[in-house]
Homo-oligomer: A and B are copies of this chain.
Amino acid sequence: MPTLDDVAKKAGVSRGTVSNVFNRPDAVRTALRERVEEAARLLGYGGPDPKGRLLKEGKFNAIGFMPPGAYAISDVVRSPYGRELLLGAAQACDAAGATLSLVNGTDETRTASIREALVDGFILGNVIDIELVASAKRRRLPFVILESDAGPEINSIRIDGHCGAIAAARHLLGLGHRRFAILSIRRAAGAPIVHMPGKSGRELMTGFALDHERLAGFRDALAEAGLSIDDMPIIETTPGDPGAGAAVFDNCPDATAIVTMSDWQAITVLDEAVRRGIDVPDQVSVIGFDGTAEAARTIPPLTTVAHDIAGKARMAAEMVLANGAPRQVVLPVELTLRGSTAKPRDALAPGKRQPAKPPRP
């Protein structure tokens, strides 16, 4: 690869002049410029390599987007939620003329990616462990984390999950539901993990997970109605896992309402219901979380706890780009009522519901 220097040598001028020919052409006399251009052409030099300039200028004019949890960047594109996040970030980048870099990172390489990403700042999809935040901080670039709060020093934007969960639960309770199955979010890839009532620990509600808050909201709303979340089965599934529906219907045959932590989970439940001939909402109500565009297009359309996902990501990107004082933003949610929730009907009406199977060990 020829460099600026090579061209300068060939044209018999200095490096600076060649730089001018490409960057400030009218600061160079025509004859000379043409000579330089000719030399560049001869050498196959296509103009200054941005690498050099970069070092000088110090800015990439790019922000990085690091997928939430254990997701790869293709998972982000595939997921309804991830797509809207991407859309919002892209809008902000469009407006700022910046590049949006989808930064790749598996669980092991994630901190390395943060250390080395060629960006001016980044958006961290919701973070599982505090270590990631620490390494982001070490990088000393602006960043914002989504769906977690890491204190007043760190930019964060999250929704009011507690409130959203309460709204969802009250809605279902108001319809008369008393037996719930809860789909919580499993971060790592893998099969659903079933926690039946009374069984294994309920320490799901701790830690840095985005559904901590939401579960707490359900718990509180349930408590208002004299119910305990400890009596409800909780199943951890990875959003988008097509096995989620099966895990629910197999393990919780008498639940009249299925509450989820993401629309994508709810959508897979809906799919499985169709497969099993279970009518939603006639036999079982399903409620989503997020308010993705897809939720409006399912059959039946999904009742969901909606928020402005793209707006959230747009704000995040703008915060990164602006690089101002740290802020913690909590966005409102809104319960969007659609067709997937209704009053419970006798859950065991003969012939209409598939026979209860014993819960798996």
Query: Chain A: residues with CB nearer than 8 A to chain B?
Result: 1, 44, 46-47, 50-55, 58, 60, 62, 64, 72-74, 76-78, 83, 86-87, 90-91, 93-94, 97-104, 109, 115-118, 137-140, 297
Contacts and interface: CB of A to CB of B under 8 A. Distances in A.
A139 B46 contact: yes
Nearest to A141: B46
A101 B104 contact: no
Given A46-B139, A54-B51, A87-B78, A104 B97 contact: yes
A94 B83 CA distance: 17
Nearest to A103: B99
A268 to B, nearest CB: 15
B104 A102 contact: no
Given A46-B138, A99-B118, A101-B102, 7 more contacts: A51-B54, A55-B55, A62-B101, A74-B91, A76-B90, A77-B83, A100-B102
A74 B115 CA distance: 27
A109 B100 CA distance: 16
Contacts of A297: 297
Given A55-B55, A93-B104, A46 B98 contact: no
Nearest to A88: B74
Contact of A118 (B62, B87, B138): B62
Contacts of A87: 74, 77-78
Number of copies: 2
Given A72-B90, A77-B86, A97-B104, A55 B58 contact: no
Nearest to A84: B77
Given A47-B138, A50-B115, A73-B93, A99 B102 contact: yes
Contacts of A109: 97
A118 B54 contact: yes
A50 B116 contact: yes
A242 to B, nearest CB: 15
B97 A93 contact: no
A3 B227 CA distance: 58
Contact of A99 (B44, B47, B54, B104): B104
Contacts of A53: 116
Given A1-B140, A47-B115, A98 B104 contact: yes
Contacts of A72: 90, 94
A77 B85 CA distance: 10
Contacts of A47: 115, 138-139
11 contacts: A50-B117, A73-B93, A74-B87, A74-B90, A77-B83, A94-B104, A98-B104, A99-B103, A99-B118, A100-B104, A101-B101
A93 B104 CA distance: 8
A83 to B, nearest CB: 6
Contact of A74 (B50, B94, B104, B118): B94
A137 B103 CA distance: 26
A103 to B, nearest CB: 5
A37 B304 CA distance: 50
A61 to B, nearest CB: 8
Given A51-B54, A101-B101, A94 B73 contact: yes
Contacts of A98: 104
Nearest to A100: B102
